[in-house]
Structures are given as structure tokens and as C-alpha cells.
Amino acid sequence: MPKPKVCILRTAGTNCDMETHFAFREAGADAELVHINNLINQQGKLKAYQILAIPGGFSYGDDIAAGKILASELKYKLIDPIKKFVADGKLIIGICNGFQILVKCGLLPGNNNLNQEATLSINDSAKFEDRWVYLKNQKSKIKNQKCVWVKNLPEIIYLPVAHGEGKFITKDKAVLERLKKNNQIIFQYCDEKGKSAAYPYNPNGSEEDIAGISDERGRILGLMPHPERHILLTQHPRWHTIKDKKYGPSLKRWQAGDGLQIFRNGVEYARKLI
Amino acid sequence: MSWHIEIKEKEGIFDAVGEGIKKDILDLGIRSVRKVRFIQVYILEGNLIEGKVREICEELLVDKITQDYAISRPLNRHELPEPGEFTVEVAYNPGVMDPVEESTLKGTQDLGIIGVTSVRTAKKYIIKGNLTGEELKIISEKLLYNKLIQHVVDYSESARSSPVARELDYQFNLITVDLLGASDKRLAAISQEGQLFLNLREMQQIKDYFKKLKRNPTDCELETIAQTWSEHCGHKTFRGKIDYTEELEVDGKKVKRKESIDNLLKSTIMKVTKELNKPWCVSVFQDNSGVIRFDSRHNVCFKVETHNHPSALEPFGGANTGIGGVIRDSLGTGLGAKPFLNTNVFCFGPPDYPFDKLPEGVLHPKRLMKGVVSGVRDYGNKMGIPTVNGAVLFHERFVGNPLVYCGTAGIMPKDKSFKKVSPGELVVLVGGKTGRDGIHGATFSSGELTHESEKISSGAVQIGNPIQEKKMLDTILQARDRNLYTAITDCGGGGLSSAVGEMGKGSGAKVYLDKVPLKYKGLSYTEIWISESQERMILSVSKKNIGALIEVFNKENVEAVVIGEFTNTKKLELFYRDNLVCDLDMKFLHDGLPEIVKKAVYISSNKHKAPVSSCPRNLTPYLEKLLSRYDICSKEWIVRQYDHEVQGGSVVKPLSGIVNDGPSDASIVRPILNSSMGVIVSNGINFRFGLIDPYWMAASCIDEALRQIIAVGGSLKEVAILDNFCWGNPDKPDRLGSLVRAAYGCYDIAKGFEVPFISGKDSLYNEFTVNNKSIAIPGTLLISAIAVMDDVHKAVSMYAKNPGDLVYVVGQTYDELGGSHYYDLMGYLGNNVPRVSPAEAKSVFNALSKASSAGLIKAMHDCSDGGLAVALAEMAFAGGLGMNIFLSEVPYKETQNVKRKTQKPREDFILFSESNSRFIVEVAKDKQKEFESALEGVSFGLIGCVMKDKKFNVYGLGGKPCVKSDIDKLKEAWQKPLRW
């Protein structure tokens, strides 16, 4: 079977690149770490890939604001190849810092002029926090889920967040309504049972508990939680309990974690684009 | 032309920074504050028209969704405040690195705007409330700025003078110091005035050396010698001669012994390693960190360092550069190891220490702690290295001199574990530029702190730039994998002087100081040589590889510059614009240190007070109080701020439990994600035991570090440890005496456990002078352990799992309450300090390793601070389950060295004794037999079971409950104190 090629974008301060690489490899892709200077100097290079992944980290130290400098670098130095990539129907995923970057360069929620219509601002707790959160994806409520990244996921998944600036805010009510209408809200923070709940379930105070959104066509996904940190069951903070209760002696040593399916979805879809 | 841009959150958007400051002001006890607004200020310099400045704002600096901005010229910038409104604007002092400058400049260039020549930032706070001038001053000084690196902008002044301090070109002028003609008195004065921290004997030695050369030293030569010979770099106490006298009381009799020690390090710590001669020890005590085998293709390295003095003065910057430095130790080990975990241990004064008792020039412990935690968070998180383990301890004697230990473990391919410099290779400096930051850091940490320290040593304080280091890390690993260099070391304390001096030790080195890239003009040749600017490393590169090497770095925007050459002259030769400014023999530099015999005296005292009252009937309030002690209580506020999961390797995280908030013992990390092998790290520290006997403190620290490894399912098979001694002034015989006694403990116990030391560090002179009285910290030893685990799927966590499961205590409990939290709670220290019998402990540890690897253990937790009671309570509330415990089943013995008046064993002693080598273990009922047979020959007791409800009851020796509580209440007591 052909393996789709994933470009994992790297620059000063990127730091979740290796585990994102691992996640895509586990999901069956041929993933490569690519420094942004390479893409800028060879504008045609991006064409060779079917998926662009912008991993977590602190690009350029998150100076000014999280993801801001890399967002503007993408917008001013790499915009043509990216526009072409999107127009070709290829996939983009931005995780944590990557989500902040996609929102700040206008690729998410997305409009023709790449105007910024939302932001991720400082958490209500005013500090960086690493904690696990429950996420619901409402797939049972949405008939034609366009987003290619969420197929075959259970209704509620469990992933860690680790950020100081993750509070999702839209420019105005109209943008929020548009997101709802187009089913662009992909992940929402919730409690164990899938109900909307306050801090720490919603770890940052995001509007409508929004944790991740996609573009209108469902190919570009951005989310604050880290699916690449839950590829293996042993990354789950209570894997001992899960092991006993869910699997018992049938536990496989390399039991997958909740995050892996997201990467599998992307890879499966991208296979068709080769 | 300069443009000021002020950015604030729009009305209705939550101002997180402002609200945080307001909370801190209320914490200071200033109640009249109503509101704080935060404004971010950028000052752009350059030939720019207003339209371009607007473009920079809208496209780069401002988040249009949440923020508003205003542009102004400096003159009309300061609007008159309204009544009851105060403005404080804080900016960096000239010469202090502003990490935001570089990235913002880059951002403007990306926009295609080229006119910006410099960017500076400032933070402006608008504080509303009826504040007095005095209150405003307190708020500013205690919360908003640190005068060592920042200042409050004076508007009238900034309007008049140019905002950028213009650096003048440096005019070369070779400075020599007249040693040849100097009297002893003058020699001492030269050392003091130059902040060389060299004693008279050392100054005389230097004088003699130059007498033979028939010339005076240059300032640069003198500085180089001072750096190399400093305690910080040379570890002369540990490597020197010591006359040791010990007076112990054994069975009421005085036992005296005298010992003359030649090299304490070699005769204790390193001796263990040598005698054990483990085949998996790869490189010990010779590189920037210790190296052990991981799997057939990789080795792992581990190092823990301290950054105490810088953190005392500027907690954020001190901790920031502390963690940055130890990360470079990993990167500078062998040919470079990739860091995959950090660990941090802190000792502070009590967070509720009264402000009016605070000595002059000392920051309040709470501010210190907040600053240190954010410094670690900033650097560790931005480097993408998980901070997975640590501890925080508190004592009054740390008020003036906190301890900040930072550790890093790294992984590297087996064939990259050694370095070798050859003559003819080039000296290449990579990473950040050099500035005036950190001048005299190494020598400064080799003296005591005083209230003057903040004035005279402010150059020693630095702020890190983690992204600079991350770029350097990324590129170094690429160059390593392409075999483009032959040796690497980091520029830490002593800067280039110690890095190049160390690397060229065996051969010789020549450096052209004018080739070093500078942050700004005006640095003298000596300043360039000894600057401790962060994020720099030295590589040794053969001439044929230099082009390829420089390309690797430049491709990712990292500077790499040839600054000299390794020679075979056995000399250190430095040039500045063709002038020879330093010409020293390597042999003198590295071996010329005069032999000094230090006196050390240790007299044991068994006369600490112990409580005489009888055992309280109801121990519930004592347990709750113990859980609320700062040392014991939840550190979740800290742990969550650290990214402890980045790189994806975590298997046992620092917090675990049914809602992820119980206190794990050791942490387990998988450095290679598609391998089942793991690395376990843990720390053992207990200065209270050292107040009674440093020997047993050392023993207990080793036991604690090792038993945490056992508690998560590890084994003693491949464990290595690090020592980190933080002590008072070693020139004082009592301080040095207790240090020697602790080192003896390290030897005996590590040898007994058959666990080698692989690296270590010492930080001496941890004293603070108040009113001419020197207060030493309690001698504090940190033992950090690293273990290799064959299969992480065998890991065990600490939280109670299932109602009905059996609860065991494994290991013997003694009436060892000396130095315990229970005694301390009542205001006593006591004498019967916990001891360690390595033979007994080993059989307990090995039996438990066997049981956990056979899958017989549901949960396990080690007993340490607060004893059995605290360990049981933590397990129960972390699991969200109750427990019923019966004290009569605990194996308990009274030691012979204590005379007891009462007949019946005391319940409080059993519950709160901090005896070593003990564990609480949860076992499923159907595994009872198998588990108990695995423990053959080991003391253990089946003491109770896990309950479905939330009740936590302990039944005393007579069968009546002595603790009756519930887990919610206990958890609340444990979580409340540091829920900041």
C-alpha cells in the first residue's frame, strides 16, 4: 500500500515534532521533519506531501503572542505553496502551537482573504497548565461529518492539554454562528459523561468549550489538546486502571491510545491523494 | 526615530496578567487595590513612517480579536493619571538581554519591513486604588520588578535622553596587575577588589609563578586562574586535603577518631564506583554528566546541578539559567546527548515567613518560589523537555540562601559517548552571542552571600533564552550524527575560559577573542573571555569538516564561528587584535593550585530535645496537620505548570490517581517511543536528618531515592546515583566536618546497596550574613537516582485501585522519630534518627521487584515524610477509596539506643516514624499467597484493606480507632496549603 507523505514543519522552538512523527508513522504514513527554511527556499517542496502537520511547541519562543511570529512567517513567506496545497484538497493539522498558528494566519476557521477571525488567548487560570481533558466530537448529532480527521472516533476521547494560551475566542457572534452552522466545531471540552462543564474540564475558558475546529471543507484541523501524546495506552495517566477494567489479561502490549485514530483518519484519507 | 506602542486587552476581555498582579498585591496585605491593568509596551527604533509602524502593529504585535493599541512618540506618551490611579512601567536595564528583541525583529523582517534597527519591550501596570506612596513602592519592588535586571521608567528622564544607551567602541589597552611588587596585604586586597575569591596562599602561588616568568600577569591571566581555581570549577574542597576529627557518642561512651583525607571525592564517592566496577557504567566522573548503558545501541546520561546564588538574587533568571545550564551538560556529554527529562528540587524559607523578619536584601520566600517555578517552567517547557520529578522542602535557614537543584537526563547513540580533542583542530563557538552578562558568576558562587551581594555581584545574574538553546540543540544533534566534530563542551560557569581551558587542558589552545560574536560593542578582551552569556557551546572541529559544520548551523539560523585552534604547545594563548593578552602554561593553570589542608571537625550531639509527653489518644488532627505541612502537601500547583508529558515518553507521571492528582514516587519515561525500555528517575533529600547526623542523612537519602525506584516497579539491577552536596562555608571546621561525615555515609551505604555514583556536584559557601552573623543552610545532600527498566509495561503506580484489596506494609518500622515531621510539628528534633541497613533493605527491595515484575502488585507507595500514616492516606485519597488499617499488624521494633519509660509501644511512633526501606503495597486477594511467598525472609505485615466508602480508619494497638477520618477531608488538608 502506498504511504502518504507527511511534512512535519519545524522551526526554532518547535518541540512536539518527534512524537508527532511517531504518531504519523504508527498510523502508516511516511513522515518527515522539514525545517521552514527549506520550504521557504524551495517553494515547490511542499507539493511532494499530502499532509502538512504543524506540531506543538513554542515557535520563536511564543514571543509577542503564541504562534504569532510563525503565523506571520507562513502568511508572508510561504503563502502561495500553502494556498495551492489547500486548493489541491490536501490535509493540514495543527496541534497546540500549530492550532494557534493556523488561527493566527487565518487558515482557520478560514476565509478567502486569510483574515484572522478568532484567536487563542491566555487561559483564564492565567498560567500554563498540563492536564488531561475529555473531548466530545458530537458525531452522533452531525449527519454528514465532513471533517476527515474524526471518523471512527468514540463519542468521547481523552487527551492531554499543555498550554498557557488556549482560550478560543471568535471575533464576533457571527463567526461563532458560522462555525456552528457549518459543523466546524470538531472538539469540545466536556466532563466524563460528555456534558459541558467548567474549569478544570474546560481548562482555559474557551467559548462554547471549543477545543478544536476545522475549515469549512473539513480538511484542515486545529486543536489545542495533543493527540500525539496518546498514541499508546501507557501514556494514559490511569493506564493501570484501564488495563484492569477494560482489557484484563487480554491487554496487548502495544495497545493504542485515543489519539491514534485521528492520525489514522488523516493518513487513510491522504492515501487517496497520492 | 523611536516609536512607542502600547497594547492592552480590549474592554470586556479578561486581563489575565493584570488580574494575577492584583491577586499578588492582595496577598501582600494591601487591600486598597481595586484594579490592575496590564499594558505591553514595544519601543521600535529605526527609520520608519507611521504607516509602517501601523502595519507592524496590525500584522504582528497586536491580536486584533482581543487587543487595542496606541502608537505614540515618546514626548507625549505619558498621560496624566487620574486620581487614585498609578502607572508603573518596568523596562530591562541596559545590557540585559531581552529575549523578545530577536524574534520581534525577525517578525518585522518577515513582513518585508526593513527599517527597524532595534526592538525593546517594557511592561506597564496601571494600578487603581487608594495607595500610599509607600505601598506603591512595596508593590513595585516586591512584585513588579527586580532592580538587578530591570528599572522603573522615569518618564521625565526618558523624554530627555536617548532611550538606547549607546555603546562605545572598545579601545584596546592591555592591563597588567602588579603582583610582583605586592605585599601579602596587597595580594589579599587585589583578590578582594577584583572579586577573585582567591585566598592569600593561592595569590602567593600565582605571584611565585609570574616571578619565574619575570613579568606581571595581565588582568585576563589573573581572571583565568581565578575561574579555574574557583570552588565552582575546581572543587578544591572535595579534591584537597582534609584533617578530620570525629567525636561520636556510642552507648554513652565517647569515641574519637582522626583521619587525614587526601581527596574526599576519591576516597568516598568515586571509591564506591571503582570498587563496584559495574560493566554498564560507561563514563563516570570525567564528562559533563555520568553515562550508563541503556540498550544495545544507546547510552543515557544524567547530571544534577545547583544554581543557588543566582536564584537567591533573581529567582526567575537564576532558575532559568540553572536549567539551561544543566541541559547543556547533557548536550555537552560525549558528543552530545538529547535531553529527554528534567528534574528539579528546591529548598526555600517558609512561604508564610513574616515580612518584618526578612533580612535586608533578601527576597521573600513566596516570591522566590514563584520566580523559581516560573523560571523552570519557562526554560523546560520551551525546550520541550518534560519536567517529570522533583521535591520542595522548607526551612527558616533557607530564607537568605535557597537551594535550586536542576537535573537533566539525555540519551545518545553508544558510539557517540566519548570525545577527543586533537591538536590542529579548530575551536568553534556555536549558539548565542556574548555580552556582559554573568561576569564573575563562577567566583561569585564560591563566596558567601551578604546583603551587599545584590549590589556587587549583579553582573552574575542572567536571563536565559531557551529558544536560542533549542535551535542550538537541534543543530548540534544534526552535526553530531554527521560526525562533523570530535569534541564538545558547554560554556557554563567561567564561560569560554573554563570551556576552552578544560578542552585544551591536555594539548594547548589559541583563541582570538576579537572573533567572538558580541551582543553589543564595548566589551574588553577579558570580559569576552570570562562572560557567562548563556546558550553557547564549544566544538572541536577538524579543518576538513569546518565548511559542512558551519552550514548545518547557519541553515537553521544559528551562529557558528571559528575562534581559535587547539595546539600542542601545552599553553593557553589568547589574542585580541593580534595582541597576546594571555600566555599561561596549562599545567600551572590546572595543577598549580596550592595544596591547602582544611580542618574538619564533627562532634555528634545526642542532646536534641525530644517530646516527653505520652501518646495522644486521637491522632487524627496530627495526621491532618502533617498532610498540610508545606514539605508534605500537594505540589500540584507547581507540577501542572511544567509540561511533564512533552516528547510523549511518560509512563508514570508525577501526578497519578483516579483524578490524576496523587503524589507519584519516581517517574518513568520512555526515551525511545517504539521501545519498551524505560528510564526511572527519583530524588532523595532530607536535611532534617542531617541536623542530627549527616551520616544517616546520606544513608536515608540513598535509601529514599532507591526505594522510589522500587515503588514504581523498578529494580536495583541497573541503578546509578548522583550526589549533590549543598553546604555552608567549608573553611569553617564544623561545616566541613559534617560534610565529611555525610560523604562517609555515602560510601558505606552506596557500597552496601551496590549502587555506583556516576557524577556529582557540590555547592559550598551557602551562607548568608545578617548583622555580621553568618547563617549557614542546613547541610543538604540530594541523591538523584537513574535506573534502566527493561519493560515499562511492568510499571506500578501509587494510588489505591480496588475495594477489598489487601494492604501490606513491607519493611520494618522502628521508633526512629528523630528528625521526623511529627517531632518537628511539636517543635522537637529528637535524636533517634532513621538508619539504614543495606543488607536488610536490599532483601526488601529485591523481593518487591520480583513481586512487581510477576504482576502481583496493584499499587505501591514508599513511606517517607510523615511515615506510614501519610503514605497510607496518600494512597487512599489518590485512589478515591477508603482504608481500614490495624496498627497491631505492623512489624515494629524499638531500637536499643533509646531508653523508654513506658511499657507499651506508642501508636504515634508506629504511625509517624520515618524509618527507611518501607513500602505500602496493595495486593488483590487472589494473589495473597503468591505475594506472601515472594516476600519470604522479609518483615511485612498485612495491615488492612482498601474500602469502597471514603472512610479512612486506623485501629490502634488496643483495637480502638486512633485515626478516624475520611479521604475527602484528608485530601483537602493535603491540597489546601499550596493551592495558589
CA distance B680 to B666: 6
Indicate yes or no: CB of A61 within 8 angstroms of CB of B111: no
At B491 the three-state DSSP class reads coil
Interchain CB contacts (distance < 8 Å): A and B: 178
Q: Cell triple for residue B188?
A: 589579599
The pLDDT of B517-533, averaged and rounded, is 90
**For the segment B556-588, what is each residue's pLDDT rounded down to a tens digit?**
999 999 999 999 999 999 999 999 999 999 999
CA distance B877 to B206: 63
CA distance B1 to A200: 47
At A210 the three-state DSSP class reads strand
**For the segment A102-134, what is each residue's pLDDT rounded down to a tens digit?**
999 999 999 888 999 999 999 999 999 999 999
**Per-residue confidence (pLDDT) for residue B277, from 0 to 100:** 97
pLDDT for B245 beyond 60: yes
Indicate yes or no: CB of B660 within 8 angstroms of CB of A119: no
**Extents of the domains making up chain B:** 2-160, 218-680+780-794, 796-980
**Per-residue confidence (pLDDT) for residue A245, from 0 to 100:** 77
**Per-residue confidence (pLDDT) for residue B439, from 0 to 100:** 73
pLDDT for B165 beyond 50: no
pTM of the full structure: 0.95
- Nearby residues of A7 by Cβ (< 8 Å), 6 or more positions away: A32, A34, A39, A46, A48, A49, A51, A52, A53
ω before B654 within 30° of 0 (cis)?
no
Indicate yes or no: CB of A35 within 8 angstroms of CB of B555: yes
Side by side, the strands of the sheet bearing B298-306 are: B281-283, B290-293, B298-306, B403-413, B338-348, B387-394
- Nearby residues of B137 by Cβ (< 8 Å), 6 or more positions away: none
**Per-residue confidence (pLDDT) for residue B84, from 0 to 100:** 82
Q: What is the total residue count of chain B? A: 980
Give, in words, the CATH class of B218-680+780-794: alpha beta
Residue of chain A whose alpha carbon sits nearest to that of B644: A130
pLDDT for B159 beyond 50: no
Residues from chain B that touch A132, judged by Cβ atoms under 8 A, are: 660
The reply to whether ipTM tops 0.90 is yes
Q: Are B964 and B955 contacting, i.e. CB atoms less than 8 angstroms apart?
A: no
Q: Cell triple for residue B7?
A: 497594547
CA distance B717 to B724: 23
Backbone angles phi, psi at B540, to 5 degrees: -110, 120
Backbone angles phi, psi at B771, to 5 degrees: 45, 50
Q: Which residues pair with B246 in a beta bridge?
A: B257, B602
Other C-beta atoms within 10 Å of B963: how many? 25
Range scoring the smallest mean pLDDT among B255-269, B494-508, B603-617: B603-617
The pLDDT of B322-330, averaged and rounded, is 96
pLDDT for B435 beyond 90: no
Per CATH, the number for B2-160 is 3.30.1280.10
**Residue B384 forms contact with A (CB below 8 Å):** yes
Residues from chain B that touch A119, judged by Cβ atoms under 8 A, are: 63, 65-66
- Within chain B, what is the greatest distance between any pair of CA atoms? 90
Sign of torsion over alpha carbons A218, A223, A227, A228:
positive
CA distance B194 to B440: 9
Residue of chain A whose alpha carbon sits nearest to that of B650: A235
pLDDT for B417 beyond 80: yes
pLDDT for B166 beyond 70: no
Distance from CA of A121 to the nearest CA of B (A): 8
Residues from chain B that touch A205, judged by Cβ atoms under 8 A, are: 14
pLDDT for B453 beyond 70: no
CA distance A53 to A61: 19
Distance from CA of A38 to the nearest CA of B (A): 9
Q: Which of B4, B78, B151, B232 is catalytic?
A: B232
Sign of torsion over alpha carbons B307, B310, B315, B319:
negative
**Residue B14 forms contact with A (CB below 8 Å):** yes
> What DSSP string runs through B220-250?
HHHHHHHHHHSHHHH-HHHHSEEEEEEEEEE
Indicate yes or no: CB of B110 within 8 angstroms of CB of A77: yes
Q: Are B788 and B294 contacting, i.e. CB atoms less than 8 angstroms apart?
A: yes
Q: Are A211 and A129 contacting, i.e. CB atoms less than 8 angstroms apart?
A: no
CA distance B22 to B16: 10
pLDDT for B75 beyond 50: no
How far CA B560 is from CA of A60, B863, B979, in Å, comes to 19, 50, 45
CA atoms within 13 A on the CB side of B49: 1
**Per-residue confidence (pLDDT) for residue B81, from 0 to 100:** 64
CA distance B743 to B752: 14
Backbone angles phi, psi at B379, to 5 degrees: -75, -45
Side by side, the strands of the sheet bearing A91-95 are: A30-35, A5-10, A51-54, A91-95, A220-223, A210-214, A185-190, A129-136, A156-163
User: Which residue in the block uniquely carries the three cell numbers 521557504?
Assistant: A40
Range scoring the smallest mean pLDDT among B168-182, B452-466, B780-794: B452-466
Indicate yes or no: CB of B60 within 8 angstroms of CB of A68: yes
Sign of torsion over alpha carbons B416, B420, B426, B431:
positive
pLDDT for B388 beyond 50: yes
Nearest to B567 by CA among B585, B555, B580, B549: B585
- Name the more confident of B819 and B355: B819
pLDDT for B202 beyond 50: yes
**Per-residue confidence (pLDDT) for residue A252, from 0 to 100:** 65
Nearest to B847 by CA among B752, B707, B748, B720: B707
Indicate yes or no: CB of A18 within 8 angstroms of CB of B647: yes
Residues of chain A with pLDDT under 70: 140, 248-253
CA distance B808 to B927: 12
**Per-residue confidence (pLDDT) for residue B450, from 0 to 100:** 62
**Per-residue confidence (pLDDT) for residue B770, from 0 to 100:** 83
Residues from chain A that touch B66, judged by Cβ atoms under 8 A, are: 119, 121, 169
CA distance B500 to B566: 9
Indicate yes or no: CB of A237 within 8 angstroms of CB of B660: yes
**Per-residue confidence (pLDDT) for residue B442, from 0 to 100:** 56
**Residue B855 forms contact with A (CB below 8 Å):** no
The two beta strands, B426-431 and B536-541, are: antiparallel
Distance from CA of B433 to the nearest CA of A (A): 16
Q: Which residues pair with B301 in a beta bridge?
A: B291, B410
**Extents of the domains making up chain A:** 5-271
**For the segment B246-302, what is each residue's pLDDT rounded down to a tens digit?**
999 887 788 999 999 999 999 999 999 999 999 999 999 999 999 999 999 999 999
Q: Which of B4, B298, B307, B644 is catalytic?
A: B307
- Which of A57, A68, A244 is closest, CB to CB, to B801? A244
Q: Confirm whether B608 is a catalytic residue.
A: no
Band of pLDDT at residue B100, cut at 50, 70 and 90: confident
Indicate yes or no: CB of A234 within 8 angstroms of CB of B651: yes
Q: Which of A73, A147, A228, A230 is catalytic?
A: A228
Indicate yes or no: CB of A130 within 8 angstroms of CB of B658: no
Q: Confirm whether A228 is a catalytic residue.
A: yes
Nearest to A147 by CA among A54, A261, A274, A5: A261
**Of the ranges B81-90, B778-787, B893-902, which is most confident?**
B778-787
User: Which residue in the block uniquely carries the three cell numbers 516528547?
Assistant: B647
Residue of chain B whose alpha carbon sits nearest to that of A96: B646
pLDDT for B121 beyond 50: yes
Burial of B275 (0-12, 13-18, 19+ CB in 10 A): exposed
Interface-testing mutation among A241, A242, A251, with chain B (most B C-beta atoms within 10 A) = A241
Residue of chain B whose alpha carbon sits nearest to that of A71: B60
What does pLDDT average to over chain A?
A: 94
Give, in words, the CATH class of B796-980: alpha beta
**Residue B948 forms contact with A (CB below 8 Å):** no
pLDDT for B399 beyond 70: yes
Q: Are B533 and B438 contacting, i.e. CB atoms less than 8 angstroms apart?
A: yes
CA distance B124 to B583: 50
Residue of chain A whose alpha carbon sits nearest to that of B664: A237
Indicate yes or no: CB of B111 within 8 angstroms of CB of A76: yes
Which 3-state string (H, E, C) describes B11-69? CCCCCHHHHHHHHHHHHCCCCCEEEEEEEEEEEEEECCCHHHHHHHHHHHHCCCCCEEE
Sign of torsion over alpha carbons A230, A233, A237, A238:
positive
**Residue B162 forms contact with A (CB below 8 Å):** no
- Which of A14, A116, A234 is closest, CB to CB, to B793? A234
Indicate yes or no: CB of B648 within 8 angstroms of CB of A19: yes
- Which of A57, A68, A169 is closest, CB to CB, to B384? A57
CA distance B246 to A80: 77
ω before A227 within 30° of 0 (cis)?
no
What does pLDDT average to over chain B?
A: 92
Indicate yes or no: CB of A234 within 8 angstroms of CB of B670: yes
Indicate yes or no: CB of A58 within 8 angstroms of CB of B645: no
The two beta strands, B85-92 and B33-46, are: unpaired
> What DSSP string runs through B199-220?
-HHHHHHHHHHHHHHTSPPBHH
Indicate yes or no: CB of B648 within 8 angstroms of CB of A18: yes
Distance from CA of A139 to the nearest CA of B (A): 26
Burial of B249 (0-12, 13-18, 19+ CB in 10 A): middle
Range scoring the smallest mean pLDDT among B78-87, B253-262, B283-292, B647-656: B78-87
**Per-residue confidence (pLDDT) for residue B163, from 0 to 100:** 43
Per CATH, the number for A5-271 is 3.40.50.880
pLDDT for B79 beyond 70: no
Residues from chain B that touch A56, judged by Cβ atoms under 8 A, are: 646
At A10 the three-state DSSP class reads strand
CA B168 to chain centre: 37
- Which of A37, A126, A229 is closest, CB to CB, to B555? A37
Distance from CA of B362 to the nearest CA of A (A): 26
